[in-house]
Every structure is written in structure tokens, then in C-alpha cells.
Amino acid sequence: MKAISLYNKTSAFNGIYIVFLVNRLQMLYFVLLQATFLVYPHMIWAIVAVGALSQINLILVSKCFSSELLLKGYQGYVELFGKQGVRILAGIGLLFLIVKIIVTVLGYMEMVHYFVFPSMDSNWLILSVLLLGYYVAAKGMDNTIRYVSIVFLCTFWMIGLVFPFFFPPIASIYDLFPLVPTSWTFQSWKGVLLIWSSLSGPEYLLVLLPWLGKQQKSLKYLSIGNAISVAEYLLLFIAAILFFGSHYLDKSKFPVKSMIRYLQSPIFERIDILMVSLHIFLVVFAFSIFMLMFYGGLRIVMGRSLQPGKLTGFVISLIALTAVMIILNEWIWKGYTGTNMLLELQIWLGALTYLLVPSFFLLAIKRKERLKL
Amino acid sequence: MNNHEMLSTGQTPISIDALERMLSNMTDAEIIDRHYNKDQKVTLLYIETLINPERLNESVIEPLNRGLHDSIYDAISSTKVSEISTMEEAEVALMRGCVILHDPSQSQWWSVLIESSLSRAIESSETETILYGPKDSFSEQLEQNITMIRRRLPLTTLKAERFTVGSTSKTPVVMMYIEGLTNPEFVDTARSKIIEIDFDLFLDSSHLAAFMEDHTHSVFPQYQQTDRPDTCAYALDIGKLTILVGNTPFALIAPITFFHLFQSPEDYINRWLVASFLRIIRYLSFFLSLILIPLYVALSTHHYQMIPMQILFVLLESRSKLPFSPFWEALLMLITLEIIKEASLRMPSKSGQTLGVIGGIVIGEATVSAGFSSTVLIVLVGISAIASFLVPNYLVTKSNTLIQFGFLVLSSFLGLLGIVLGIIGVLAHLNSLTSLKQPYFAPLAPFYWRGWMDVFIRGPLKYMKSRPEYLHPLQRWRYGRRR
């Protein structure tokens, strides 16, 4: 079977790519659900506070960015954890990754089904997005990372659509009060957890380091990406509060896209259909880059990372992933009412990976450096 | 080269018998014996359809008749004289338009280049017309084309490397670049690509491009074809290569990006604001020509709710008596449009008016009256067709058509989502393309912010101080002295 070169390193990426990657990975899917979980105006402070915490976490990520070991890729991981250790870690990482892929794709395709094609079987929608994701992934890691700049330019401007919600007659300033919490419930903690989980994503950049290369000002770029994301979270949440008000916010399943439905334009009504379709850019990109990570991880687990990749292996893993995705859509996603098990799992797993992965890698690097001395 | 050396290199020594055999059954081949200084015999061999008879008389016959010099070499009044010794050299020389002279007394063979120049006058470009700016364009004469570029860039660093491609066509190819400015990596890549070519016939630069391109199965051109010397001069100045091919007026420019195909020489003549506006209009037109018809199919098939009420009434009325679904209606109209476009290219120019009448009145009006198509679609097809011609590069326009059909199919299955998926696919494809191993979608991907000054807009010339970063030129600044 034909050998494939998915993981070639031919391009050098400058710091702006870190900004794009951090920001777009933080704007994936959970951000569209956030308002339903946060509900109360005082959660604005929660977004700011968790954003600041995320910034501290990014300092750890940036320290990992300067590690020569991680830049080496697989060889570096072997030096850090040993061959067997890398296989075990890759295996654990695959479980986290697969849940993230499944929840992102199934969750977003549910939204597409809800807004764009309510009468179509969602499996067809999932299949079409997966096929396109495979096409993008098949172009290789280099091209997929480079694609993020196109994705950013094609999707970033959509945040501008929420500005009309900040002005009367839609906006009512009273909906923004009280800004000081009168009570702090379990739901509030869950909201905080969701914000943290939404901000997860930059930890995956650590496995992209061999492609991103050594960056002199990584913290600056990571911080810009994170700051843009937090600003976008705030804009979306405040717009949702102003539009729905706290009393009705939790009644809406997809508040951000639902409020876009009320925008008028002389050419199109139902701009939400257009926006939901355009957001697919981000989902396809995320799927393809995670898919490449997944296949790379799978090769490490199977002990074949040093052999040239085969098209058969890639295709088999794609088919397997598609089958898993469609089965889970049929068995779990389609039939749930309220928050489903997979979504709940990903909120926890996303928060966990973002909290632990950078510290874990940094500790391992420091330990290795100490041993060398 | 002596006979022993020739045999070791597999070459045949030149002889009059071998030449006579080679030129047998060629009615335009001439073998003439003349006398020089009365007692010396000279044999002249040439192909009369390839040489200039007047120059033959002036440069060879008359000097030989006068016999003022001791040797034949001194007698010939031409600078393009070279000694030859093998049959292979003789064959190449004869086919280039040389006269071969044999001096039996000295056992020497000479070739004198006196080729007939079958050249047409320098005319203005028909494929890249502009209102203002230089009007000259390339012709089929390679040397003339080189001259036109050299006059614009009178530099000794402007190098011109000559190659021959095609085992039967022996097409001359000249690669031009500015030494010390163009990245040597491009020059090496292009040189090795040309040298590696092994094919028989090259009648046009597009044939050469097909062998040099990095991605054979892409619909997008990876080399810019132009017949404008000013476009070539600009490309050379910013760090690209120009490849001229004999017997064709179209030069190749590489490496290019997708966005270069949207640039017109007139962009640099208009005021920058006007040029920028026109450039944005071009991109918009390209986009419209791709999605307008698929959007009609998507909206009228899947997303009626997206159409404002007033427009919906017009659409419903227009489509109420049609026997076809929006997809089939659009597909038939697009195929008809393509037939008309192709016919307009192939038909004699005097029949153009007839075609306009048939296309515009008969097909446009009659299909609506007959109930085969809606008026809304006719309007959209018209806009889409005109919009597609705004792209200065005709090859992109043709690629555009193919993509449009793809989007049409996607829109019929998945509506607006299908179009977006199609756009994602096309952008991913563009992102992965390369031209001469350089990214095709720069400065968007890879992202070079400074390069944007001459992509979507055309910035003021005096602010465009540096050459595009993505071309990695050896001289970054365009000013001789930094300001």
C-alpha cells in the first residue's frame, strides 16, 4: 500500500499562528452553549476570572514551548518518559482526544440539524463533515496548521454580528443587573467549570511543537489568543443576557445562534442558517487537526511511529472513527433530553486536560533537566 | 573534437555523403558548390525555407565571390559563424536556419546563422487588454520577446538561460531571472524541472507548464501565462522567474500565488483607491460567479425561509409553471451557457453578432416563454457569466466553471451547508497547492501581513517599499537607497 507523508515538516510558522490556533480552539463548541449554563449577569466576572486563570496556565504552556525536548517530537517524548511511558501516555491521551472529537462534531452537527436541516437524518450531515475533515487532514499536518489562518479569517468576523444586541430596542440595560452575586449555587460552579473547559485547547499545541518550531515570544502570542477568546466570550454572553434576560436565558438550548435568528438583512432572512453553516469551517479544521493527532497517537500506541505511515492505516482509522461517531450519535446523542452523558464527560475531561497537561509536561521537563545536571 | 573523441561520445563525424543522405527527399534542401579565389571549392548546404536569401547573398555568396580574404572564415561577413564537426551539430544548425559551409582544402565545416524571421508585427494583447499603459505584447519570435523584456530591465544581472525541450519539436526555452534578487532556490528548481522534461512535442508554453507544475490534478493554474512584457518585467523585479518559449507569444511566470491571477497591469496605472476598489470587485465577482447559481438552487430547494417575503413572491411566480426542479433548471442553463461561451470562442469573428442574437434573445427569452427556465435564473446566469470574466486570467475563469458545477451538486444535496462545505474544500485545496514549490495561497496561508498591501487592495506605490516576503527575494527593499 502507498506510503503517506502526513507529518512532514516543511514550513516554518510564525507567532501569529499560535494566536490563531489558541483562539480558534477556544472558540469551538462550548462557547455556543456557555450562556445557557452561566445565566446570571454576575457570571461576567467568572469569565474574567477564569480567563485570568487560563492566562496563568498559559505561562506554564509557554515554558514548555521553550523546551528543546518537546521540539524533537516523538524522540523528545521518549527521552522524557521512556518508550513504554510514551505509549501509555499516548493511549490515555487518545481517550481524551476521541471524546473531544466526538463531542465537538456531534454537538455541532446537532446544532446544524436543529437550525438548518431539521428534517434530514443527522448521520448524513455528520458523514459529509467527516469526509471533508478527512480531506483536509489528508493534506498533512503542515497544511492543516497553515489552514488555521484561513479559518480564522473566515470565522472571526462573525463576532461582529452580536453588536446590534448591545443597542436599544433589543438591549435592556436592566438585564445586566445585579452584577454582584446574591447567591452562589452548584449551577454557578458548573458554569465556572464550563468556562474553564471551553478555554481548553491550547494544551494540544504542545504536541504541535515540532511543527510550530521554537518561538521566542510564545507567551505573548498565547496571551493574545487567550485575551481575544475571553473578549469574545464576554461579548457573546453579555449580548445573550441583553437579548434574553436571565429569566429566559436557560430556556434556550442554543442561545447564541438563536438570537442571531432575529437579525434582519435586506437580502437574507434567517441569518442564523448562514452563520451555523459558516461555523462549520472551525469544526472541520478542529476535526482534521485532532484527527491527525489521533492517528499519530494511535501509531505511537501501536509502536509504529518511526515507520513510514501507510494509507491503509489512515483509512482504517478514519472508517473506525466514522463508525464510532455514527453509533454514538444513534445511541446517545439523538435520544437525550437536556445535557447528555458525553457532553458532561467532555466538560470534565476538557477542564482536566487543560489543568493537568501543561503542569505535567513542565514537571517532566524540569525533572529531566535536574537529572541531566 | 577528433574522430576518436566523437566515437567515445557516440557522435558521428560530419561528412558530405552523410549530409546528402540526411537532406534527401527534402525539396527545400539545397546543396550548392561554389568557387572561392577561383581554385578553392566551397560546398553550401541549407534549407531554403528556414533561411533568409537576402542575408545569404550579403553575408556568404557575395563575400565568397569577391574572394578578398585568404580563408573562408575571414571572408564571411557575419558574427554568427561557428565551426562544427559532428552530424548532430550540423542537424541542429540546419534546422535553426544556418548555412553549412564545407571547405575541403582545410577539411573544415562552418555554420552561419542567417535564419529567416517569420515574425508578425508587435501588436497589443488580446487576452489581457488595458486602456492605459504599454500596448505591446509578445509575438512568436523568441528573440524579439527577450528584447522587449531587456528594454524594460536594462540590467546585466538579468540572466537568460537557454534550454531545448521536446525530442521532435526542439522548442527553445529561455528562463529569465534577475541574479542577486530572485531566490536561487526557485532558479534551481525551475532549471532542474526543465532539464528533466522528456517529451516529444511542445507547441505552447502551457505544454511546458503541464510538465513543470507541482500538482497535475488541480484545476488551478500554477504558472501565470501572459503575453505582456510589462507583466513579465514587474514579475522579474519582485523576484519571480519568467520562462519564454519559442513559437508562442505566451510566457510563463513563476512562482505565483492564487492572488496574482487577479492582478491586472492596469492596477498599477490607476489611482490606488480606484485600483483597490476594482481589485475588490474582481474578487467579489469571482466569488459571485462561483456561488450565485448554487445559492439559487440552495435557497429555492432547501431554505425558502431565508428569502425575504417580497423576493419570495417573485421567485414563486417565476417558478410556478416550470417542469424542472431548481437543480435541473440551473444545470441545463449552465450547460447552455457553457455551449454559448465555447461557441463564441470557436466561431469566426463575423458570426459573433449572430451568436449574440441567438444566445441573448432566442435562448434567454425563448426558454422563459417556453417555460423551461425562470426569469430569476436567467438574470442570475447573466450576472454570473459576466462576473466570471472580470478575472484577468482566462485560465482561472475556466477553472471557475468546473468548481461552479461542483457547488451546484453540493447545493442540491445539502443546500447552503453544501456550498460552505464546497468552499472549505476548495480553500483547503488552494492551501495545499504550491507553485514552483512555494505556497500558492500566500500571503493568506502562510500568513504574511505585510504582503496584504498588494493582494486585496493595491496600496499606494510609494508605500510598497518591500518586495513580497513570500517570494523570499535576496533584495528586500525596492528603493535603491533606503528612505
- HEC sequence for chain B: CCHHHHHHCCCCECCHHHHHHHCCCCCCEEEEEEEECCCEEEEEEEECCCECHHHHHHHHHHHHHHCCCCCHHHHCCCCCEEEECEHHHHHHHHHHCEEEEEECCCCEEEEEECECCCCCCCCCCCCCCCCCCCCCCCCCCHHHHHHHHHHHCCCCCEEEEEEEECCCCCEEEEEEEECCCCCHHHHHHHHHHHHHCCCCCCCCHHHHHHHHCCCCCCCCCCCEEECCHHHHHHHHHCCCEEEEECCCCCEEEECCCHHHHHCCHHHHCCCHHHHHHHHHHHHHHHHHHHHHHHHHHHHHHCCHHHCCHHHHHHHHHHHCCCCCCHHHHHHHHHHHHHHHHHHHHHCCHHHHHHHHHHHHHHHHHHHHHCCCCCHHHHHHHHHHHHHHCCCCCHHHHHHHHHHHHHHHHHHHHHHHHHHHHHHHHHHHHHHHCEECCEECCCCCCCCCHHHHHHCCCCCCHHHCCECCHHHCCCCCECCCCCC
What is the model's pTM? Answer: 0.90
Sheet arrangement for strand B81-84: B29-36, B40-47, B98-103, B108-113, B81-84
User: Where residue B443 falls among pLDDT bands split at 50, 70, 90?
Assistant: very high
Record: contact A269-B306, CB cut-off 8 A: yes
Residue A129's closest chain B neighbor by CA? B421
How far apart (Å, rounded) are the C-alpha atoms in residues A187 and B135?
A: 73
Record: contact A269-B445, CB cut-off 8 A: no
Mean pLDDT of chain A: 90
As a whole number of Å, the end-to-end CA separation of chain B is 57
Residue A15's closest chain B neighbor by CA? B447
Record: contact B428-A13, CB cut-off 8 A: no
For residue B210, what pLDDT is reported?
A: 94
Of A11, A147, A274, the CB nearest to B428: A147
Express as a percent the part of chain B with pLDDT over 90: 46
- Averaged pLDDT, A144-161: 94
Q: CB distance from B212 to chain A under 8 Å?
A: no
What are A214's three cell numbers? 521554537
Question: For A208-230, how does the pLDDT look when each residue is reduced to its tens digit (9 = 90+)?
Answer: 999 998 888 899 999 999 999 99
The helix (H) or strand (E) run that includes residue A291 is: helix A280-301
Record: contact B445-A112, CB cut-off 8 A: no
Record: contact B446-A132, CB cut-off 8 A: no
- Averaged pLDDT, B323-351: 84
Closest Cα partner for A205 from A75, A322, A67, A104?
A67
User: Where residue A8 falls among pLDDT bands split at 50, 70, 90?
Assistant: confident
Which residues on A lie below 8 Å from B292 (Cβ)? none
Q: Max CA-CA distance within chain A?
A: 69
Is residue B38's pLDDT more than 60? yes
Which residues on B lie below 8 Å from A146 (Cβ)? 431, 439, 445-446
Q: CB distance from B432 to chain A under 8 Å?
A: yes
Mean pLDDT of chain B: 88
Record: contact B449-A16, CB cut-off 8 A: yes
Is residue B9's pLDDT more than 70? no
For residue B483, what pLDDT is reported?
A: 45
Give the 3-state secondary structure of residue A147: helix
Closest Cα partner for B125 from B235, B227, B246, B22?
B227
User: Residue A360, class by beta-carbon neighbours within 10 Å (0-12 exposed, 13-18 middle, 19+ buried)?
Assistant: middle
For residue A105, what pLDDT is reported?
A: 94
Sheet arrangement for strand B251-254: B158-165, B171-178, B241-245, B251-254, B224-226
For residue B309, what pLDDT is reported?
A: 87
Express as a percent the part of chain A with pLDDT over 70: 98
The answer to whether the CB of B236 falls within 8 A of the CB of B177 is: yes
How far apart (Å, rounded) are the C-alpha atoms in residues A67 and A52?
A: 24
The top-scoring range by mean pLDDT among B244-253, B304-313, B385-394 is B244-253
For residue A5, what pLDDT is reported?
A: 82
- Averaged pLDDT, B92-108: 87
- Averaged pLDDT, A92-106: 94
Higher pLDDT: A111 or B106? It is A111
Please give the angle made by the CA atoms of B79, B81 and B84, to the nearest 5 degrees: 160
As a whole number of Å, the end-to-end CA separation of chain A is 46
What are B258's three cell numbers? 492564487
Question: For B172-203, how does the pLDDT look when each residue is reduced to its tens digit (9 = 90+)?
Answer: 999 999 999 999 999 999 999 999 999 999 99
What are B332's three cell numbers? 441545463
* A 77-106 near B (Cβ less than 8 A): none
Nearest CA to CA, how far is A21 from chain B (Å)?
13
- Averaged pLDDT, A154-159: 94
Record: contact A281-B431, CB cut-off 8 A: no
For residue B82, what pLDDT is reported?
A: 87
Record: contact A116-B415, CB cut-off 8 A: yes
For residue B350, what pLDDT is reported?
A: 67
Higher pLDDT: B61 or B417? It is B417
- Where b means 16+ CB within 10 Å and e means fewer, B136-165 reads ebbbebbebbbebbeebbeeeebeeeebeb
Nearest CA to CA, how far is A136 from chain B (Å)?
6
What are the structural domain ranges in chain A? 10-366
CA distances from B284 to A322, B160, B397, B460 (A): 36, 38, 13, 21
Is residue B76's pLDDT more than 90? no
Nearest CA to CA, how far is A367 from chain B (Å)?
36
Higher pLDDT: B478 or B433? It is B433
Which residues on A lie below 8 Å from B449 (Cβ)? 16
B373 contact partners, CB below 8 Å, separation of at least 6? B322, B329, B332, B333, B367
Record: contact B424-A132, CB cut-off 8 A: yes
Question: For A56-67, how does the pLDDT look when each residue is reduced to its tens digit (9 = 90+)?
Answer: 999 999 999 888
Record: contact A280-B425, CB cut-off 8 A: no
Is residue B363's pLDDT more than 80? no
Which residues on B lie below 8 Å from A150 (Cβ)? 427, 431, 441, 444-445
How far apart (Å, rounded) are the C-alpha atoms in residues B99 and B75?
A: 14
Nearest CA to CA, how far is A371 from chain B (Å)?
39
Of B308, B415, B431, the CB nearest to A146: B431
Nearest CA to CA, how far is B174 from chain A (Å)?
30
How far apart (Å, rounded) are the C-alpha atoms in residues B126 and B284?
A: 24
Q: For residue A169, is the peptide bond before it cis, meaning its omega torsion is within 30 degrees of 0?
A: yes
Of A20, A132, A273, the CB nearest to B306: A273
Record: contact A135-B428, CB cut-off 8 A: yes
A23, A269, A292: which to substitute to probe chain B, counting the most B Cβ within 10 Å?
A: A269
User: Residue B212, class by beta-carbon neighbours within 10 Å (0-12 exposed, 13-18 middle, 19+ buried)?
Assistant: buried
For residue B481, what pLDDT is reported?
A: 67
B420, B426, B429: which to substitute to probe chain A, counting the most A Cβ within 10 Å?
A: B420
Q: Which residues pair with B113 in a beta bridge?
A: B98
What are B170's three cell numbers? 526542439
**Residue B332, CB half-sphere, CA atoms under 13 Å: how many?**
17
How many residues are listed for chain B in this entry? 483
- Give domain A10-366's CATH superfamily: Amino acid/polyamine transporter I (1.20.1740.10)
User: Where residue A358 falls among pLDDT bands split at 50, 70, 90?
Assistant: very high
For residue B66, what pLDDT is reported?
A: 80
Higher pLDDT: A251 or B423? It is B423
CA distances from A198 to A353, A357, B95 (A): 11, 15, 73
For residue B482, what pLDDT is reported?
A: 54
CA B339 to chain centre: 24
Which residues on A lie below 8 Å from B421 (Cβ)? 128-129, 132, 280, 284
Please give the angle made by the CA atoms of B248, B249 and B254, to the nearest 5 degrees: 95
The helix (H) or strand (E) run that includes residue A154 is: helix A141-155
For residue A268, what pLDDT is reported?
A: 84
Of B418, B425, B444, the CB nearest to A135: B425
Is residue A7's pLDDT more than 60? yes
Of A132, A147, A268, the CB nearest to B306: A268
Return the beta strands (E) in chain A as ranges.
3-4, 309-310
Which residues on B lie below 8 Å from A116 (Cβ)? 303, 415-417
Which residues on A lie below 8 Å from B441 (Cβ)? 150
Is residue B16's pLDDT more than 50? yes
Nearest CA to CA, how far is B306 from chain A (Å)?
4
CA distances from A322 to A138, A277, B57, B157 (A): 15, 21, 80, 57
Query: How many inter-chain contacts (A to B, CB under 8 Å) are there?
Result: 90
For residue A276, what pLDDT is reported?
A: 93
A10, A20, A146: which to substitute to probe chain B, counting the most B Cβ within 10 Å?
A: A146
Which residues on A lie below 8 Å from B312 (Cβ)? none
Higher pLDDT: A26 or B309? It is A26
Please give the angle made by the CA atoms of B296, B299 and B303, to the nearest 5 degrees: 175
- Averaged pLDDT, A66-84: 89
User: Where residue B3 falls among pLDDT bands split at 50, 70, 90?
Assistant: low
Record: contact B421-A117, CB cut-off 8 A: no
Is residue A313's pLDDT more than 90? no
For residue A101, what pLDDT is reported?
A: 95
Express as a percent the part of chain B with pLDDT over 70: 95
